[in-house]
Amino acid sequence: MATGHAASPTTGLGVLAMDASPTALALARWQGSGSNLHYTQHDFVARPIPSSLRPGTFDVIMCRNTLPYLDRERFLVDAARWLTPKGQLHLTIPVTNPDSPLPPPWARGLTVEQIRSLGAGWAQRTDYPLDAGHVCIVLSGQADPPTASAPARWSG
């Protein structure tokens, strides 16, 4: 979701914010509104991909703390289709330790090994460690054909 300067009417950027939670969408609407900012409730796990998400539509897709709840392989393939040729997918991912007790369902993350495996089929991957508990992965450009393994750059 984007609010604030990126979604302001003066930037000319269009923003589509999607979430499965009506509460999250209500909070986002409260934080920002404008003619270029659109909110839609959608559950990517339980429902088919909306027909409004057409190939080559988005310059940037941001997925913040959501990837652990999705079918990762399906989402990454779909996101690649939705992006323009120069588009980027920004993934902010909570990092979990496989030796720690299971977190509550609302606090899922991915292990370092799972994060390393992200990016198969993408031409470029850049990793940004944010803090001890989060990493940002930026993926761009589709490699032809997708490869079986992804570059392992981030070591945790």
Q: Looking at the domain assignment, is residue 59 inside a domain?
A: yes
87 and 21 share one domain: no
Sole residue written with tokens 């796990």: 45
What average pLDDT does the structure give for the chain?
81
Rounded to whole angstroms, how far apart are CA atoms 73 and 126?
Answer: 18
155 and 119 share one domain: yes
Residue 156 pLDDT exceeds 70: no
Domain count, the chain: 2
Q: Is 56 left (phi over 0), alpha (psi -120 to 50) or beta?
A: left
89 and 18 share one domain: no
b/e per residue 61-93 (b: at least 16 CB within 10 A): bbbeebbbeeeeeebbebbbebbeeebbbbbbb
87 and 150 share one domain: yes
Residue 149 pLDDT exceeds 50: no
Q: How many CB atoms lie within 10 A of CB 115?
A: 24
Q: Is 0.95 surpassed by the pTM of this model?
A: no
Q: Which domain covers residue 143, as residue numbers? A: 54-156
What is the DSSP secondary structure assignment for residue 103, as one 8-state letter? P
**What are phi and psi for residue 108, nearest 5 degrees?**
-70, 155
Model confidence over 86-117: pLDDT tens digits? 999 999 999 998 888 887 877 889 999 999 99
Check if the beta carbon of residue 141 is closer than 8 Å to that of residue 124: yes
- In this prediction, residue 2 carries a pLDDT of 40
Is the model more confident about 93 or about 148?
Answer: 93
Check if the beta carbon of residue 28 is closer than 8 Å to that of residue 3: yes
71 and 34 share one domain: no
Q: Looking at the domain assignment, is residue 146 inside a domain?
A: yes
92 and 154 share one domain: yes
Check if the beta carbon of residue 146 is closer than 8 Å to that of residue 84: no
pLDDT-above-70 percentage for the chain: 83
Model confidence over 5-54: pLDDT tens digits? 444 455 667 888 888 888 988 888 888 777 888 888 888 888 888 888 88
Cα separation values, 26 from 39, 61, 67, 69, 106, Å: 9, 20, 21, 21, 19
Q: Looking at the domain assignment, is residue 139 inside a domain?
A: yes
Q: Looking at the domain assignment, is residue 5 inside a domain?
A: no
